[in-house]
């Protein structure tokens, strides 16, 4: 997928999907907030059966407590019989989730971020690109911790394609959030969202995974971010951008990025339709940015026919020498599924491909021009991510 053949109707496609399913006018918006005073809001669920565990204050690793006590370097938490203990997760993880305040000549805003790597002298924080992009050409970024301490930050790198960014602070030995595995999530799994909606630091909400592999496109025309999103009903509001979506063990499984709104202009609050970037995607991008200063995206090597209105993603032409061309997929073919996941339109195809890693081998099922069906094995190429 190259060029600008795929961008012109992305946001409209997403909105239309919501319109068809709900009968309401719904848009997708970033969740960047305005600066307000800090505070804490914590949701608590009732435990069913309690197991004691200790969370390491630095690494956030969780260990079983056989006697109900922990050492001074670990925090005692309750794990509720396989269910979720929001109170315990909040106590363990909030030190690893920060507020991000951005001030530029054109205005100010707030977002959220998670500490993902630390050393003796510095730490790296994962957030959304749209949280910090206004400061890329001038302005200041300040990180606020849950105890009220503040530290100036600089941008390490940004990826507009995935709406991700990494910032750095010169403050070390900080508690690092524990990574989960977003590929193991199932619909109905309990999750917790932590961030700073409307500047209210360390706000905690809970809910479930409402859907997986939800194709979401956000941003302005020509600068869209495509997300193979985790959908959740955990309350996400402006300012939650870049914050953590956590599983029942308090591990980050998503980066909260966008919400569906009932308004076509401006921002509104949560209506129970929040979207997070799967952490498996975000982790790869973040590590590449930290290690090399730039990130990559997988390439199928096709240009889609934006005038096609049928079901599937129609290939207008191929990029010579790229994966689709090498696999023998002909122009004019209509992609109907990728690795068994149904593809109703080109946005779904873009989002699905970008959920992979360069070099992955994927199965592309297509309907050929003569109406016959065929499946191709394609090795995805690599390209610099914007």
SS3 per residue for 301-332:
CEEECCCCCCCCEEEEEECCCCHHHHHCCCCC
Catalytic residue among 130, 270, 337, 355: 130
Is 59's pLDDT higher than 60? Answer: no
**164-171: average pLDDT:** 97
153 domain-assigned: no
Listed range (261-270, 282-291, 328-337) with the worst mean pLDDT: 261-270
Q: Can you give the pLDDT at residue 202?
A: 77
**264-292: average pLDDT:** 86
> 1-49, pLDDT tens digit by residue?
443 333 333 322 222 232 223 334 445 656 654 333 222 222 333 333 4
Q: Are residues 310 and 350 in the same domain?
A: yes
Q: Can you give the pLDDT at residue 239?
A: 84
Q: How many structural domains are present in the chain?
A: 3
Q: Can you give the pLDDT at residue 114?
A: 96
Q: Which domain holds residue 203?
A: 13-32+183-279
Q: Are residues 232 and 263 in the same domain?
A: yes
Is 85's pLDDT higher than 80? Answer: no
- The pLDDT-based confidence of 58 (bands split at 50, 70, 90) is low
Q: Can you give the pLDDT at residue 337?
A: 97
Listed range (20-34, 88-102, 125-139, 177-191) with the worst mean pLDDT: 20-34
Q: Is 163 a catalytic residue?
A: yes
134 domain-assigned: no
Q: Are residues 264 and 208 in the same domain?
A: yes
What's the token pair of residue 316? 């207008």
Listed range (24-28, 247-251, 303-307, 342-346) with the worst mean pLDDT: 24-28
203 domain-assigned: yes
Domain boundary (279, 310, 340) is at: 279
Q: Can you give the pLDDT at residue 220?
A: 66
Q: Can you give the pLDDT at residue 35?
A: 32
- The pLDDT-based confidence of 268 (bands split at 50, 70, 90) is low
Return mean pLDDT, the chain.
82
**107-120: average pLDDT:** 93
Listed range (7-16, 19-28, 51-60, 358-367) with the worst mean pLDDT: 7-16
Q: Is 241 a catalytic residue?
A: yes
Q: Are residues 203 and 261 in the same domain?
A: yes
44 domain-assigned: no
Q: Are residues 269 and 213 in the same domain?
A: yes
Q: Are residues 242 and 187 in the same domain?
A: yes
Is 222's pLDDT higher than 80? Answer: no
199 domain-assigned: yes
Cα–Cα distance measured from residue 206 to residue 187, given in angstroms and rounded to the nearest whole number: 15
CATH number of domain containing 321: 2.30.42.10
Q: Is 159 a catalytic residue?
A: no
Q: Are residues 316 and 234 in the same domain?
A: no
Q: Can you give the pLDDT at residue 145?
A: 93
89 domain-assigned: yes
Written as one string, the DSSP assignment of 263-316 is: -SSS-----S-EEEEEHHHHHHHHHHHHHHS--EEEE--EEE-TT--SSSEEEE
CA 292 to chain centre: 21
220 domain-assigned: yes
**362-380: average pLDDT:** 97
Q: Are residues 314 and 357 in the same domain?
A: yes
116 domain-assigned: no
Pick left, alpha or beta for residue 250 (phi over 0 → left; psi -120 to 50 → alpha; otherwise beta). Answer: left
CATH number of domain containing 231: 2.40.10.10
Catalytic residue among 163, 233, 247, 325: 163
- The pLDDT-based confidence of 278 (bands split at 50, 70, 90) is very high
Q: Are residues 275 and 301 in the same domain?
A: no
Is 132's pLDDT higher than 80? Answer: yes
Catalytic residue among 241, 257, 337, 385: 241
């Amino acid at each position: 997928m190259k060029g600008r053949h795929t961008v012109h109707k992305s946001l409209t496609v997403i909105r239309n999907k919501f319109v068809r399913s709900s009968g309401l006018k719904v848009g997708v918006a970033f969740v960047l907030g305005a600066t307000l005073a800090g505070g804490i809001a914590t949701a608590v669920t009732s435990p069913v059966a309690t197991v004691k565990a200790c969370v390491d204050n630095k690494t956030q690793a969780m260990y079983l407590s056989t006697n109900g006590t922990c050492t001074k370097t670990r925090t005692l938490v309750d794990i509720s019989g396989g269910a979720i203990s929001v109170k315990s997760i909040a106590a363990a993880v909030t030190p690893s989730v920060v507020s991000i305040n951005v001030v530029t000549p054109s205005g100010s805003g707030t977002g959220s971020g998670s500490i993902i790597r630390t050393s003796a002298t510095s730490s790296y924080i994962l957030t959304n690109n749209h949280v910090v992009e206004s400061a890329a050409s001038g302005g200041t970024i300040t990180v606020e911790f849950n105890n009220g301490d503040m530290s100036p930050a600089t941008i390490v790198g940004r990826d507009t394609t995935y709406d991700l960014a990494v910032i750095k602070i010169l403050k070390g030995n900080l508690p690092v959030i524990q990574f989960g595995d977003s590929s193991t999530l199932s619909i109905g799994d309990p999750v917790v969202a932590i961030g700073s909606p409307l500047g209210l630091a360390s706000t905690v909400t809970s809910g479930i995974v409402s859907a997986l592999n939800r194709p979401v496109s956000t941003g302005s025309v020509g600068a869209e971010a495509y997300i193979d999103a985790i959908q959740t009903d955990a309350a996400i509001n402006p300012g939650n951008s870049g914050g953590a979506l956590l599983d029942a063990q308090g591990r980050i499984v998503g980066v909260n990025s966008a919400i569906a709104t009932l308004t076509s202009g401006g921002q509104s609050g949560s209506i129970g339709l929040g979207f997070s970037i799967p952490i498996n995607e975000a982790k790869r991008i973040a590590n590449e940015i930290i290690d090399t200063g730039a990130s990559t995206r997988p390439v199928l090597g096709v240009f889609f026919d934006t005038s096609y209105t049928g079901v599937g993603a129609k290939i207008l032409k191929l990029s010579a020498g790229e994966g689709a061309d090498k696999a023998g997929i002909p122009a004019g073919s209509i992609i109907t599924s990728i690795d068994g996941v149904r593809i109703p339109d080109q946005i779904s195809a873009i989002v699905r491909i970008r959920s992979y890693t360069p070099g992955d081998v994927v199965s592309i099922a297509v309907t050929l021009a003569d109406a016959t069906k065929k499946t191709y094995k394609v090795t995805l190429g690599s390209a610099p991510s914007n």
